[in-house]
Amino acid sequence: MEESTADLIRAQLRRLRSAAGLNQEEFGKLVHYSASMVSAVETGTRPYDRPLLARADEVLASGGLLVSLLRIAEREGQPSWFLPWLDAERLARQLRVFQPTLIPALLQTEGYARAVIRCDDLLSDEEVERRVAARLDRQAILAQPDPPQLIAVVDEAVLHRRDERFRALMVHQVEHLIACAERPNVSIHVIPLSVGLHIGLSGPFSLARGADGGWVAIMENQLTASPTDGEADLATLSARWETVRNEALSRQQSVELLKEVVKSWP
């Protein structure tokens, strides 16, 4: 979601709350949030979600304004279930990403992103290009003046898609990973094929730590993804992160492996 849309939703939330004569603590009690959480949502250090906006519309008698703004954001190109994660990703101070089957979205080249998105043959050419543009837009957070720290763990199998049609594409993608790994705020770690089975093969997930120190996670599957900040879910995914990170090579060893992969292409 574009930053201006997110800021508009937060600005309207603050305006409606103030117009109702409620401070953050009073409003928080009505929507089942703490005052500190209300403050974090309004200032943009924590993401909002549809249930909060729906409760706020009801409590503040706004006529559904906040949810309507969220629908506008959805029409701009992202499904409702993904918007809270995009907000968390944009506000993150640290991102931890694990991918066992693909290059992480924040590290994909345009060509790789297009090839992956085109795998869905139900999408029109126009929709493919819109999704490619949206994916590349997300990557802007890594080049901003105060970027988040990105730690990405990928399985080595991701690097060995050797269909000749994608040779040049994959060489460019792996070279891009090497270049990204040279940035001080980006660490890329590869789980070597020699590890065999590991818990990460159960599926991809990401963790985002906001400016307030709180964490949000997302778990992906074929049809959707599930953002969560539930204590139990975060504990489980944090433990799994430690496991996959410990299975991976060091930063320098991973870069050397990436260079070997590029050289191995005939």
Q: Both 14 and 94 in a single domain?
A: no
The set of residues, in sequence order, having a beta carbon less than 8 Å from that of 26 and lying 6+ positions away, is none
Other C-beta atoms closer than 10 Å to the C-beta of 177 total: 26
Q: Both 14 and 50 in a single domain?
A: yes
Distance CA 63, CA 66 (A): 9
Domain final residue, candidates 55, 75, 95:
75
Residues 24-46 have pLDDT tens digits of 999 999 999 999 989 988 888 77
Q: Residue 162 is part of which domain span?
A: 84-107+139-264
Query: Tell me, what CATH number does 215's domain have?
Result: 3.30.870.10
Give pTM, 2 decimals: 0.72
Q: Both 183 and 146 in a single domain?
A: yes
Residues 92-145 have pLDDT tens digits of 999 999 999 999 999 999 999 999 999 888 888 888 888 888 888 889 899 888
| Residue 1's pLDDT band (cuts 50, 70, 90) | very low
Residues 204-256 have pLDDT tens digits of 999 999 988 989 999 887 666 777 888 899 999 999 999 999 999 999 999 99
Q: Both 90 and 25 in a single domain?
A: no
What pLDDT shows up at residue 97?
Answer: 97
What pLDDT shows up at residue 28?
Answer: 93
Written as one string, the DSSP assignment of 203-221 is: --EEEEE-TTS-EEEEEE-
What are the tokens at 261?
A: 């992969």
Q: Both 163 and 59 in a single domain?
A: no
Q: Both 38 and 93 in a single domain?
A: no
| Residue 47's pLDDT band (cuts 50, 70, 90) | confident
Domain final residue, candidates 75, 96, 126:
75
Residue 129 is assigned to a structural domain of this protein? no
Q: Both 231 and 99 in a single domain?
A: yes
Residue 202 is assigned to a structural domain of this protein? yes
Q: What is the DSSP letter of 167?
A: H
Q: Are 220 and 183 in contact (CB under 8 A)?
A: no
What are the tokens at 97?
A: 């990403």
Into how many domains does the chain fold? 2
Domain final residue, candidates 53, 75, 97:
75
Other C-beta atoms closer than 10 Å to the C-beta of 239 total: 10
Distance CA 206, CA 145 (A): 23
Average pLDDT over all residues of the chain: 88
Distance CA 53, CA 70 (A): 8
What pLDDT shows up at residue 77?
Answer: 58
Q: Both 20 and 50 in a single domain?
A: yes
CA distances from 64 to 6, 48, 71, 76, 77 (A): 16, 15, 11, 19, 21
Distance CA 114, CA 253 (A): 29
Q: Both 219 and 248 in a single domain?
A: yes
Q: Both 89 and 21 in a single domain?
A: no
The two beta strands, 149-155 and 94-99, are parallel
Residue 123 is assigned to a structural domain of this protein? no
Closest to 186 measured CA to CA, from 55, 65, 95: 95
Distance CA 8, CA 16 (A): 12
Query: Tell me, what CATH number does 49's domain have?
Result: 1.10.260.40
| Longest Cα–Cα distance in the chain | 69
Q: Both 25 and 96 in a single domain?
A: no
Residue 128 is assigned to a structural domain of this protein? no
Q: Both 206 and 253 in a single domain?
A: yes
Q: What is the 3-state secondary structure (H, E, C) of 249-262?
A: CCHHHHHHHHHHHH
What are the tokens at 12?
A: 């309207």
Residue 117 is assigned to a structural domain of this protein? no
Which helix (H) or strand (E) segment holds residue 186: the answer is strand 186-191
What pLDDT shows up at residue 136?
Answer: 87
Residues 58-95 have pLDDT tens digits of 999 998 888 888 776 665 556 666 777 888 888 899 99
- pLDDT exceeds 60 at position 2: no
Residue 125 is assigned to a structural domain of this protein? no
Distance CA 62, CA 68 (A): 10
Q: Are 78 and 131 in contact (CB under 8 A)?
A: no
